[in-house]
Amino acid sequence: MNSNNMSKIQIAKAKRLRSTPYTSRIEKQGLTAYTTYNHMLLPAAFEVSLEVSYYHLKEHVQVWDVAAERQVEISGDDSDELVQMMTCRDLSKSKVGRCYYCPIIDDQANLINDPVVLRINKNKWWLSIADSDLILFAKGLAIGKKFKVNIKEPNVDIMAVQGPKSFALMEKIFGKSITELKFFDFDYFDFRGVKHLIARSGWSKQGGYEIYVENTKSGLELYDYLFEIGKEFNVKPGCPHLIERIESALLSYGNDFDLNDNPLECGFDKYVNLDSDVEFLGKEKLKQIKAAGVSKKLMGIMIDLNRINLSRALDITIDNKIVGELRSAVYSPTFNQVIGIAMIKKPFFEIDTSVEIIIDKVTKTGKLCNIPFV
Amino acid sequence: MNSNNMSKIQIAKAKRLRSTPYTSRIEKQGLTAYTTYNHMLLPAAFEVSLEVSYYHLKEHVQVWDVAAERQVEISGDDSDELVQMMTCRDLSKSKVGRCYYCPIIDDQANLINDPVVLRINKNKWWLSIADSDLILFAKGLAIGKKFKVNIKEPNVDIMAVQGPKSFALMEKIFGKSITELKFFDFDYFDFRGVKHLIARSGWSKQGGYEIYVENTKSGLELYDYLFEIGKEFNVKPGCPHLIERIESALLSYGNDFDLNDNPLECGFDKYVNLDSDVEFLGKEKLKQIKAAGVSKKLMGIMIDLNRINLSRALDITIDNKIVGELRSAVYSPTFNQVIGIAMIKKPFFEIDTSVEIIIDKVTKTGKLCNIPFV
């Protein structure tokens, strides 16, 4: 997701930055940069330019090592209560076989993570997490509340198959039924006698699947088979893509929002179910925030620039007064300029507002807009 | 801490892997590799070999950007109770101005982190953390227990001054009194009118200080001044050092132990105060483990090899039976062979036990020993 921010500085490997089952394969396939995510290596670039991989993702199909999307498994009698307590999304009608995007918040409504939550069965959930140790928050709450739950990180290493040709590729392996899976549904599919949980999901808007590999040996055979059988679809290795994810406004925890932001500031309104009967942390706080109106808000921004390498937030100003900060940005070939995600203070978060950003000591102009960009 | 594990693969920067106030300085000073730690960049190597920096650290003085050692600040009426609940070390007699190395465990006595805990004042603590989001565990517990506490990550960016000449260098800036600070004591010292919290501590056994910089502007001036005034002591930029830390058995969370290990397995016995009156999570569990004896234990290992690049745990075997795993390892010029930290199963954790490890498809022999090595 940072594929253009090449620093020319190496990553020092250690056990602490865990490898994935696919690590040796992606390194042979031309990996050139890693980021880290949930204490694990996440590929960030291969031997092609960011633009080449962007068009490839939008036209063909890629296989991604996203094992760094770790699972927090919560099971046991009180698992429903614990999972619901952590999210402002009403899960009371949730169904086995469905994925739910869920902002996780604390008692002050600050964001702790934004996993995709899978209801595995009646008393078992997987929270497919962004980059923070949600398992520790869940453990702390469960201990404090004396809940009867079992919380662990299971051995699940996701590979994603993304791009418009992912449907044809996956059909060739798993048959017609996998193309009938609805968006954010999951089911079990057979590969050479081994069942794999596969969801129609993924961190791009180009369509595709995430394969939650529990049987590593079978998963590695499947990885190799995807490349073997995928030649006719021009399959390539890839990774979450900075241009595509900003254009699509797939927000990134730690980049676009964190523990200092709440879901209403991030535009997660439809996942904030304040009128529901369910109890969750921060509910009263969110009601107060909603009544008073948010004091800052995530917006899109178009900047008069054709190149940027963002490695920290940059101040956004109007008449030298700080009105917000730029949190993610990339050059978009679609818009032929830099686009970004910015947190903007009240009352400046109106579309078409002109703003300024100082980049490399030069003042650049930008304009606020809605997200997603496409 | 991984300085020899050069992967030739770049790190992709992003806001999510936070820069520190010192980042631009260390990059100008010849930084060649980063690791990440607490969602932040931690320097891992400069433009000198691992051995050159090893001897330099043991003979001269280095300044380290260890801002990635983040603080979890816990304050308020119930702060004592929350901090004590999380650690098996008895803190009932703890004093303001002292540092305490504290294993943090959950209700099953599994290790969550191993911070140095600073008692800032009667109702305020800083937990100077290893690489896991301890703030989320503390928040979960506090919410579950309805504790009256305030938990946050303050703006504190540590720089460490390490090596035998650190005392002379620091005396030149702060005067004689700083040399009288006892190991693991801290106090406030003046630099050009700004008070800085300085502890006699650091992640090496070569002596030195950690400066907990809250005033960034002053901290950066101090950083530059340390290099200016330190020329006569041959000061260099550095970072936690893989050889030195393994020789000294400064254990690393995520490398040598994690959520699957307990303090008794890691040799933290003197910080496990089961006979004290204080209550903490996992106390009964630890009593059971102690009574039954541990089922595995961290040991040193000397391996018949003169080079290793460890990026994942390796199986340790006796007669083809797995008896443990190698978790950290490096070539030590002092011992003229590879030394490492290994978790060994009962009953094989006896010193002088001969073991085997398959590295790059070749079987190598090793011998178990006590730690630290020096």
CATH number of residue B369's parent domain: 2.40.30.110
Is A232 inside a domain boundary? Answer: yes
pLDDT single digits (tens) A231-252: 999 999 999 999 999 999 999 9
Q: Phi and psi dihedrals of A93, rounded to 5?
A: -105, 20
Round to whole Å and give the CA distance between B125 and A66.
37
Same domain, B204 and B342: no
**A4 by DSSP, 3-state: which?**
coil
Q: Is residue A172 part of a domain?
A: yes
Segments of A68-218 assigned E as strands: 71-75, 99-101, 104-105, 111-113, 116-121, 124-128, 150-152, 157-162, 186-191, 194-199, 208-213
DSSP H or E segment with residue B128? strand B124-128
CA distance B18 to chain A (A): 7
**DSSP-derived 3-state class of residue A215:** coil
Res. A62 pLDDT band, cuts 50 70 90:
very high
B72: closest CA among B131, B148, B160, B146? Answer: B131
Instruction: Enumerate residues 6+ apart whose C-beta is below 8 A from A163.
Output: A56, A57, A58, A59, A60, A61, A62, A204, A206, A207, A208
**Could you tell me if B367 and B303 lie in one domain?**
yes
- Using CB atoms, which residue from B1, B34, B140 is nearest to A11? B34
Bridge-based pairing of strands B31-37 and A6-12 is parallel
B301 and B226 inside one domain: no
Q: Does B325 touch chain A (CB under 8 A)?
A: no
Question: pLDDT digits over A286-324, tens only?
Answer: 999 999 999 999 999 999 999 999 999 999 999 999 999
What mean pLDDT, rounded, does chain B reach? 96
Confidence of residue A1 (pLDDT cuts 50, 70, 90): very low
A104 lies within 8 A of chain B by CB:
no
- Structural domain includes residue A197: yes
Q: Chain B residue closest to A37 (CA)?
A: B39
Indicate which of A34, A73, A132, A143 best probes the interface with B, i.e. most B CBs within 10 Å of its own CB: A143
Tell me what pLDDT residue B127 has.
98
What residues of A are in contact with residue B312 (Cβ under 8 Å)? 15, 18-19
pLDDT band at B194 (very low <50, low <70, confident <90, very high): very high
pLDDT band (50, 70, 90) for residue A8? confident
Q: CB of B71 within 8 Å of any CB in chain A?
A: no
Note which residues in 146-165 of chain B have CB less than 8 A from chain A.
Answer: 153
Which ranges constitute the DSSP H helices of chain B?
Answer: 23-28, 50-59, 79-86, 134-145, 166-174, 216-229, 242-247, 283-292
Chain A residues whose beta carbon lies within 8 Å of the beta carbon of residue B138: 140
Q: Residues B241, B160: one domain?
A: yes
pLDDT in tens, A261-280: 999 999 999 999 999 999 99
B91 token code pair: 């803190």
Interface with chain B: mutation pick from A2, A4, A7, A10, highest number of B CBs within 10 Å: A10
Test A5 with B15 for CB contact under 8 angstroms: no
Residues 327-356 of A with CB under 8 A from B: 327-328
Contact B312 A15 (CB under 8 A): yes
Domain assignment present for residue B189? The answer is yes
Across B283-310, average pLDDT: 97
Asked if A328 contacts A252 with a C-beta cutoff of 8 angstroms, the reply is yes
Residue B117 in domain: no
> Taking the mean position of all CA atoms in its chain, how far away is CA A345?
24
- What angle in degrees, to the nearest 10, is found between the helix axes of A134-145 and A79-86? 120
Does the structure's ipTM exceed the value 0.90? yes
- Give the mean pLDDT of A348-362: 95
How confident is the prediction for chain A on average, in pLDDT? 96
Q: How many folded domains does chain A comprise?
A: 1
Dihedral over Cα of A168, A169, A175, A181: its sign: negative
pLDDT band with cut points at 50, 70 and 90 for residue B337: very high
Q: Looking at CA atoms only, how far is residue A170 from chain B in angstroms?
A: 30
Shortest Cα–Cα distance, B63 to chain A (Å): 19
Is residue A5 scored above 80 in pLDDT? no
| Among B11, B16, B131, beta carbon nearest to A34 | B11
Q: Which residues of A touch B44 (CB under 8 A)?
A: 12
Taking each helix axis from N to C end, the angle separating B216-229 and B166-174, rounded to the nearest 10 degrees, works out to: 120
pLDDT at B7 over 70: no
Which tens digits make up the pLDDT trace of A100-110?
999 999 999 99
Answer yes or no: do A32 and B39 touch at CB < 8 A. Answer: no
Assess whether pLDDT exceeds 50 at residue B327. yes
Q: How far apart are alpha carbons B170 and B201 in whole angstroms?
A: 13
- Selecting from B13, B44, B133 the residue whose C-beta is nearest the C-beta of A12 gives B44
Tell whether B105 is within 8 A of chain A (Cβ): no
Residue among A131, A144, A327 minimizing CB distance to B39: A131
The C-alpha atoms of residue B263 and residue A299 are separated, in whole angstroms, by 47
pLDDT at B360 (0 to 100): 85
With b meaning 16 or more CB within 10 Å and e meaning fewer, what string describes B332-361?
beeeebbbbbbbbbeebbeeebebbbebee
Instruction: Indicate the pLDDT class of residue A7, thresholds 50, 70 and 90.
Output: low
Nearest residue of chain A to residue B112 (CA atoms) = A136
**What does the pLDDT look like over B139-158, one tens digit per residue?**
999 999 999 999 999 999 99
Ranges A224-228, B2-6, B60-64, B116-120: which has the least confidence:
B2-6
Give yes or no: residues B160 and B241 share one domain: yes
Mean pLDDT of A186-199: 98
Report the Cα A125 to chain-centroid distance in Å: 18
Is the CB of residue A338 less than 8 Å from the CB of residue A302? yes
Residue B182, min C-alpha distance to chain A (Å): 32
Q: Please name which of A232, A282, A237, A236 lies closest in space to residue A262, comparing C-alpha atoms.
A: A282
B153 chain-A contacts, CB cut-off 8 A: 259
Query: Among candidates A25, A13, A54, A5, which has minimal Cα distance to A239?
Result: A54
Nearest by CB: B132 against A2, A31, A133: A133
- Predicted confidence at residue A360, as pLDDT, reads 85
- Interface contact flag, B35 A27, Cβ < 8 Å: no
The verdict on B47 and B184 lying in the same domain is: yes
pTM of the model: 0.97
Q: What is the mean pLDDT of residues B26-50?
A: 97
Q: Are B302 and B218 in contact (CB under 8 A)?
A: no
Portion of chain A with pLDDT greater than 90, in percent: 97
Contacts of B14 in chain A (CB under 8 A): 1-2, 5, 35, 254-255, 310-311, 328
Contact B2 A19 (CB under 8 A): no
Is B42 found in the same domain as B175? Answer: yes
Please tell me the distance from the alpha carbon of residue B193 to that of residue B209, in angstroms, as a whole number. Answer: 20
CA atoms within 13 A on the CB side of B306: 2
Any idea which residue has 């504290």 for tokens?
B102
Task: Note whether A13 and B34 are within 8 A (CB).
Answer: no
Strand partners, B159: B65, B211
A365 lies in some domain: no
Rounded to the nearest angstrom, the minimum Cα separation between A136 and chain B is 5
Chain B contact present for A1, CB below 8 A: yes
From B187, B214, B246, the end of a domain falls on: B246
Local confidence band at A136 (pLDDT 50, 70, 90 cut-offs): very high
Tokens of A248: 């699509």
Cα B280 from Cα B272, distance rounded (Å):
10
Does A354 fall in a domain? Answer: no
Q: Do A45 and B12 touch (CB under 8 A)?
A: yes
CB A237 within 8 A of CB A160: no
The answer to whether residue A365 scores a pLDDT higher than 70 is yes
pLDDT at B2 over 80: no
How close is the nearest chain A Cα to the Cα of B115, in Å? Answer: 15
Within a domain: residue A36? Answer: yes
B14 and A6 in contact by Cβ < 8 A? no
CA distance B176 to chain A (A): 38
Q: Which residue(s) pair with B251 in the sheet?
A: none
Count of residues for chain B?
374
Same domain? For B299 and B242 the reply is no
In a shared domain, residues B27 and B168: yes
Reply yes or no on whether the pLDDT at A2 is more than 50: no
CATH code where residue B182 lies: 3.30.1360.120
Q: Are residues B301 and B203 in the same domain?
A: no
Q: How far apart are CA B91 and CA B273, in angstroms?
A: 10
Which residues of B fall within a CB distance of 8 Å from A133? 132-133, 136-137
Domain residues for the domain of A172 are 23-69+156-246
Question: Are residue B51 and residue B190 in the same domain, yes or no?
Answer: yes
Rounded to whole angstroms, the Cα distance separating B372 from B33 reads: 27
Q: How far is B187 from chain A (nearest CA, A)?
A: 30
Q: Rounded to 5 degrees, what angle do the CA atoms A313, A316, A322 make?
A: 110
Which residues on chain B are in Cβ contact (under 8 Å) with A324? none
Quote the pLDDT of residue A6: 54
Tell me how far apart the alpha carbons of residues B327 and B308 are, in angstroms, rounded to a whole number.
12
Same domain membership, residue B233 and residue B162: yes
